[in-house]
Structure 1
Amino acid sequence: MHPTPVDIHDSPPHLEATSASHPRGLYLLFATEMWERFSYYGMRAVLVLFLIDAMRMDKAFASKFYGGYTSLIYLTPLIGAYISDRYWGNRRSILTGGLLMALGQFTLFFSASNYGSIQDHPLSHWLLYLGLGAMIVGNGFFKPNISSMVGTLYRPDDKRKDAAYTIFYLGINLGSLIGNTITSTVGDTGRPNDFRWAFLACGLAMTLGTVIFNWGKGRYLHTPDGRPVGETPAGSTLVNGLFALLPVLLVLVLGILYLDSAKLPVIAPLLGLAVVGIALLIFTDKSLTASDLQGVLVIFVVSFFVVFFWAAFEQAPASLTFFAKDSMDRTIFGHELPPSLFQNLNAFFVVTGAPIMALVWTALGKRGLEPPSPVKMALGLALLAVGYLVMCFGVNNLQPGVKVSMFFLVAMYFFHSYGELFLSPIGLSLVNKLAPAKFASLLMGVWFLANAGANYLAGYMSSLYPDPTSTAPKPVLLGFHIDNLYDFFLIFVVSAAVAAAILLVISPKLIAIMKAREVEPQM
């Protein structure tokens, strides 16, 4: 499915409400999110390579540093959502987040522009931290707010809402596809000095997305009956005062990122405390019924299994890019492709596969054969395991100096992308259905926390990558010696397969709770 281009002009709100087409505000949010995802995924595609080739970090340290950065990316939306709900509103939060992320990308551009003496230049390292810190804080305000605005454009009973989120989801992946292609082409050239052009492109994309949102927010972001959405909450008294909080958040984020990268782990305990705190807050609330609490328990259970999925899935920007760079034949038609470009396969398979899966679920649903959500998620984990099993076949008994065919990586991304379609949108929908209204936003935060924990774990797992060019001792995980690439990929086959099997076994219990709460009436 691809959004149809629309001629954007002002029109009376009542015409949009009666039209069978989607509100024009959806396409404004689509465009804003597309450019933001261009910025995020475009930068992500080359970040680890920049850390290794330009900043001269070793692969293990760069992997952990990247894991700390991405985990904080998913942690700060808890703060941004809280401030937005109570003080700023969606519009102000999105604009603030967009400007901060653009500033962060331009800061990385200046960091990368010092190449030549970059590894000995303290300013480049400080600019690296400052740029990433600005993007972490900015994402905290941007990410949770733009997604929540989509649903506010429709009436609660509007059947177009699911299709709207599908269009919006495709915008995310379209932005990733475009951004990754451009940054891999201009930045991942084999010349470390060129990484700056990737960051510059991402900064321009983020600026464009923010400008588009600011231009259209007053015109198109309203309910079907014409009321504006996302404005500052009535009675808010800290609208301007909270801007003083931004430097404090930036310093706090920079401190956490610096301490964690300096081998003093602070992010993992922080994530653990957040989960425990949210659980205590919800499960000690006397206003919730037993049925409510059972639904919350299901959310915590599925979020736990999501960690296993994303920790393996998010090897793409780090260990799988190492593999593409060092151990894979990337030559096609006499031209060697940049290793970061292969991350684009996920976005391509999602964009082309989402409509197919929508048709499959619809067809199965009409026949009463559609699997319940926990089973779909277990199948997603199983597809993840299959993808890494393909990689095991590709690297089994690999001799030194021999390059692996790119077929194996392409096949792996195919299985992983369809696994994502089985798990990610299904799990997100499940959280929305099961969460008690009182804690709907907070429980969405649990989903973000699962992603934060998974990305942190992904960075640690990537640090175990057995670098064929390194003379350091081979890594060990829980007594298992990772001597080669086969051993490394086998870890993800086993972990994903075991998680899939356990989730499948406990699915009947989860389904029974869901039936009791009437969130899946087809069962």
Structure 2
Amino acid sequence: MGRGEKKQLGCFGYPLSIFFIVINEFCERFSYYGMRAVLVLYFKYFLQWDDNLATVIYHTFVAICYLTPILGAIIADSWLGKFKTIVYLSIVYAVGQVVMAVSAIHDLTDGNKDGTPDTIEVHVALSIIGLLLIALGTGGIKPCVAAFGGDQFDESQDKQRSQFFSIFYLSINAGSLLSTIITPILRGQECGIHSQQKCYPLAFGVPAALMVVALVIFIVGSSMYKKVSPQGNIIVKVSKCIGFAISNRYRNRSKSIPKREHWMDWAKEKYEERLIAQIKMVLKVLFLYIPLPMFWALFDQQGSRWTLQATTMDGNFGAIQIQPDQMQTVNPILIIVLVPIFDAVLYPLIKKCKLNFTPLKRMTVGMFLAAISFVAAALVQIEIDKTLPTFPSNNQIQLRVINIGTQPLNIDYMPNPPSSVSILRFQASEYEILEQPRSVNFSYGNISNTLNLEPLVDRTRYTYIVKDGQNIQANMFEDISNKPEQGSNAIRFVNGLEEAINITLGAAFLGDVMPVQMSNYTMQNLGTKQIEVITASGKTCKAESMKFGFGSSYTIIVKQCVPELQVDYVEDIKANTVHMALQIPQYFLITAGEVVFSVTGLEFSYSQAPSNMKSVLQAGWLLTVAVGNIIVLIVAGASHISQQWAEYVLFAALLVAVCVIFAVMAYFYTYVDPAEIEAQFDEDEKKKNAKEIEAMGVQDGDGPYSQTKM
């Protein structure tokens, strides 16, 4: 025992084993949140899913992550124990992370660069397998790790145990914060063998490596752990008791048996009154949980809808460039700031004002703040929508003309009614929306050329490059019909010279471009780039480009190469102009809501539940998170709302309605003290024992046996 005691108090009065547990939790949370931070963008940009499907799969994954803790708790408490459960499910977890990293390797399928369905299906299949393994692993160990850490302390170490949980919570937030900063940076790198793409293998690979490290560290501390044998799962026991009460009541519904005060009283034939009373207290709290999933339905959209919203915004913060998925770091940063402010300043101030700000009132305020955050998100989305280009709808095309001729060009569009426009040399017209039937006439003075546009594909943008001469030359090119994603800028060049040219933009080689022709698009990131043009006659000229922003598209006209390179810019799609900083208010509101809702909710739940049923409420709390993510799936799938701002308003309205319902439920809730109720049962048990002893004829002078037993 002396040697064991030495190991238990290995460092600063704490069991040395808990340091392995804390480091394990930091690495595991880094792994989980790092992977999750880039997940929705992986779905959209790598697997090529649309916003709705990406959102649905993301929230399905999160829902499963919060359903599996119940399974993990049952396995740990009923069969394997916490240590073996953590080890075995961590192996599953690590394998899942490795599978995700492999699924993101673009060159996995024979170096195919075309993104064809057969190659995408391999990535999709591996991704789904990886996510299911991760969900089983992270959810399964979730209820075990913190409890296993608590098991390492002796009964005399209450202070150290309390401090451990604070350190444990800090390690969770530290892992979350660092991972949501680092993995988006890794994702933003270019990597690949046959083609260069965003480096999702690295963004998933580092979390996978951290999960392997977490597993190894946890196993290394094995000899130091205090391992408690499985004692039977209280969740299973509670479920059986509730099931018996329901079935017993159903079996006796037609018999002339007096009604009982509470439906759980139908379990008295098989279960002791103490357990039934404890379950009643738990059920009162679980009943209050019914409206709570709606809060999580909004909260977890930070990683889906809000991240997708950030992809259409300007992330240039001067010295640094913020990636859309890095905006999620605002949440853990604000938690670290707001929790001490609320605890040390706000709550004492409210108490000083003699306002009865009960836990349930705090939770109501938290739900309302979350609803307001979605109103703020809707206002931001409205501003974003104002900057987005209008693309052609059904039975429409959009047509733009660039004049590289020697004189002004007259254009007659011939939809119904016809419209005309004149553009100068090296200038471009605005996009014209044309409906069927449609044609266009180009003319330089007396020379004209009419083109039938019927073969062009609807819902598409086109550009004509037109040049005069003996005959009018008019070459048609298809434009991109959606806004460049991930903050990239789609750039292409028009050769306005009389000879072929070779073009390089930054590190991108665009190849040879013939006269009256256009290069392919190249995707460029933020900033200025060097343009280099080499003519067929051997002349070389260079110039710095304009500063590109986020999500723009430009057609650059090469006008002259001697003595200097001269170009003109035609803006096809405007850059993102709404700054990501505008998301900070909505993050502030939902984080403030989280602090007064989540932290208070756990505190309230634990204060209202018997000491041996904390795990039941923990499972119930995690279940509300899972149901919240399922609500997102239902609303996103059933609403069919085309405008994103309207969907935000819908979620806000639903939460406000649920908030009112919760406020009414909270008004009628009566707070209890489980310790007093359990003490009363203990007192009744003592009196019962005393009566039994007295009935057996035990004399006070013999011992007294009843006092010894107590």
Query: TM-score range, shorter-chain basis?
Result: 0.7 to 0.9
Structure 2 residue aligned with 1:389: 375
Structure 1 residue aligned with 2:203: 198
Aligned-pair CA distance for 1:396: 4.0
Indicate how the Cα distance of structure 1 residues 431 and 192 shifts in structure 2: closer, same or farther if over 3 A, else same: farther
Consecutive unaligned residues of structure 2, counting only runs of 5 or more, are 108-112, 191-195, 246-263, 389-575, 678-710
Contact persistence 1:63–1:460 (CA under 8 A): no
Structure 2 counterpart SS, 1:514 = coil
Give the letter for the 2:167 counterpart.
I
Contact persistence 1:97–1:140 (CA under 8 A): no
Give the letter for the 1:106 counterpart.
V
CA distance in 2, matches of 1:393, 1:365: 31
CA distance in 1, matches of 2:84, 2:285: 30
CA distance in 2, matches of 1:413, 1:322: 14
Contact persistence 2:8–2:17 (CA under 8 A): no
Aligned-pair CA distance for 1:153: 3.5
Written as runs of structure 1 = structure 2, the 5 A alignment for 1:50-129 is 50-115=42-107, 116=113, 119-121=117-119, 122-129=121-128
What is the TM-score of this pair, normalised by structure 2? 0.57
Indicate how the Cα distance of structure 1 residues 280 and 344 shifts in structure 2: closer, same or farther if over 3 A, else same: farther
Contact persistence 1:48–1:318 (CA under 8 A): yes
Residue 295 of structure 2 is aligned to residue 309 of structure 1: yes
CA distance in 1, matches of 2:188, 2:631: 26
Indicate how the Cα distance of structure 1 residues 164 and 65 shifts in structure 2: closer, same or farther if over 3 A, else same: same
Residue 414 of structure 2 is aligned to residue 414 of structure 1: no
Residue 608 of structure 2 is aligned to residue 434 of structure 1: yes
Out of 628, 641, 645, the residue aligned to residue 486 of structure 1 is 645
Indicate how the Cα distance of structure 1 residues 178 and 516 shifts in structure 2: closer, same or farther if over 3 A, else same: closer
CA distance in 1, matches of 2:379, 2:350: 36
Contact persistence 2:242–2:267 (CA under 8 A): no
Out of 615, 620, 629, the residue aligned to residue 455 of structure 1 is 629
Contact persistence 2:67–2:622 (CA under 8 A): yes
CA distance in 2, matches of 1:337, 1:189: 14
Contact persistence 1:394–1:408 (CA under 8 A): yes
Structure 1 residue aligned with 2:183: 183
Indicate how the Cα distance of structure 1 residues 155 and 355 shifts in structure 2: closer, same or farther if over 3 A, else same: farther
Instruction: State the Cα deviation string for residues 178-219 of structure 1 (Å, max 9, x = none).
Output: 111111001145875411111100101111111111122432
Contact persistence 2:99–2:129 (CA under 8 A): yes
Moved more, 120-129 or 168-177: 120-129
Structure 1 residue aligned with 2:668: 509
CA distance in 2, matches of 1:425, 1:165: 14
Instruction: State the Cα deviation string for residues 59-87 of structure 1 (Å, max 9, x = none).
Output: 21221112222111111111111111122
Instruction: State the Cα deviation string for residues 68-116 of structure 1 (Å, max 9, x = none).
Output: 2211111111111111112211111111122211111111111111353
Structure 2 counterpart SS, 1:399 = helix
Structure 1 counterpart SS, 2:369 = helix
Aligned-pair CA distance for 1:46: 1.0
Structure 2 counterpart SS, 1:316 = helix
Instruction: State the Cα deviation string for residues 195-250 of structure 1 (Å, max 9, x = none).
Output: 1111100101111111111122432x4xxxxxx1x3444899xxxxxxxxxxxxxx
Moved more, 40-49 or 111-120: 111-120
Indicate how the Cα distance of structure 1 residues 394 and 123 shifts in structure 2: closer, same or farther if over 3 A, else same: closer
Indicate how the Cα distance of structure 1 residues 459 and 168 shifts in structure 2: closer, same or farther if over 3 A, else same: farther
Indicate how the Cα distance of structure 1 residues 370 and 146 shifts in structure 2: closer, same or farther if over 3 A, else same: farther
Structure 1 counterpart SS, 2:49 = coil
CA distance in 1, matches of 2:166, 2:31: 21
Out of 367, 390, 399, the residue aligned to residue 386 of structure 2 is 399
Structure 1 residue aligned with 2:137: 138
Aligned-pair CA distance for 1:32: 1.1
Contact persistence 1:92–1:232 (CA under 8 A): no
Instruction: State the Cα deviation string for residues 453-498 of structure 1 (Å, max 9, x = none).
Output: 112223444x46xxxxxxxxxxx73xxx745343222123222333
Structure 1 residue aligned with 2:551: none
Out of 270, 274, 278, the residue aligned to residue 292 of structure 1 is 278
Contact persistence 2:373–2:590 (CA under 8 A): yes
Aligned-pair CA distance for 1:124: 2.1
CA distance in 2, matches of 1:169, 1:316: 21
Indicate how the Cα distance of structure 1 residues 277 and 41 shifts in structure 2: closer, same or farther if over 3 A, else same: farther
Contact persistence 1:90–1:145 (CA under 8 A): yes
- Bigger share in strand: 2
Contact persistence 1:432–1:440 (CA under 8 A): yes
Structure 2 counterpart SS, 1:12 = helix
Indicate how the Cα distance of structure 1 residues 165 and 344 shifts in structure 2: closer, same or farther if over 3 A, else same: same
Structure 1 residue aligned with 2:477: none
Aligned-pair CA distance for 1:515: 5.1
Contact persistence 2:73–2:143 (CA under 8 A): yes
Instruction: State the Cα deviation string for residues 20-64 of structure 1 (Å, max 9, x = none).
Output: x65444433221111111111111111111111111122212211
Consecutive unaligned residues of structure 1, counting only runs of 5 or more, are 1-9, 222-227, 237-274, 465-475
Residue 317 of structure 2 is aligned to residue 332 of structure 1: yes
Contact persistence 1:54–1:192 (CA under 8 A): no
Out of 345, 349, 354, the residue aligned to residue 334 of structure 2 is 349
Written as runs of structure 1 = structure 2, the 5 A alignment for 1:216-227 is 216-219=221-224, 221=225
Contact persistence 2:78–2:232 (CA under 8 A): no
Moved more, 424-433 or 310-319: 424-433
Structure 2 counterpart SS, 1:305 = coil
Larger Rg: 2
Instruction: State the Cα deviation string for residues 298-330 of structure 1 (Å, max 9, x = none).
Output: 32233223201110001011111110002x221
Residue 370 of structure 2 is aligned to residue 211 of structure 1: no
Give the letter for the 1:426 counterpart.
T
CA distance in 2, matches of 1:54, 1:419: 33
Contact persistence 1:92–1:231 (CA under 8 A): no
Out of 637, 653, 658, the residue aligned to residue 499 of structure 1 is 658
Aligned-pair CA distance for 1:127: 1.3
CA distance in 1, matches of 2:326, 2:335: 16
Aligned-pair CA distance for 1:346: 0.9
CA distance in 1, matches of 2:651, 2:232: 51
Written as runs of structure 1 = structure 2, the 5 A alignment for 1:152-171 is 152-154=151-153, 158-171=158-171
Residue 359 of structure 2 is aligned to residue 373 of structure 1: yes
- Bigger share in helix: 1
Moved more, 314-323 or 157-166: 157-166
What is the TM-score of this pair, normalised by structure 1? 0.76
Residue 306 of structure 2 is aligned to residue 320 of structure 1: yes
Aligned-pair CA distance for 1:433: 3.3
Aligned-pair CA distance for 1:357: 3.0
Contact persistence 2:297–2:629 (CA under 8 A): yes
Aligned length: 445
More contact order relative to length (CA 8 Å, sep ≥ 6):
1
Give the letter for the 1:201 counterpart.
V
Structure 1 counterpart SS, 2:199 = helix
Structure 2 residue aligned with 1:40: 32
Give the letter for the 1:170 counterpart.
L
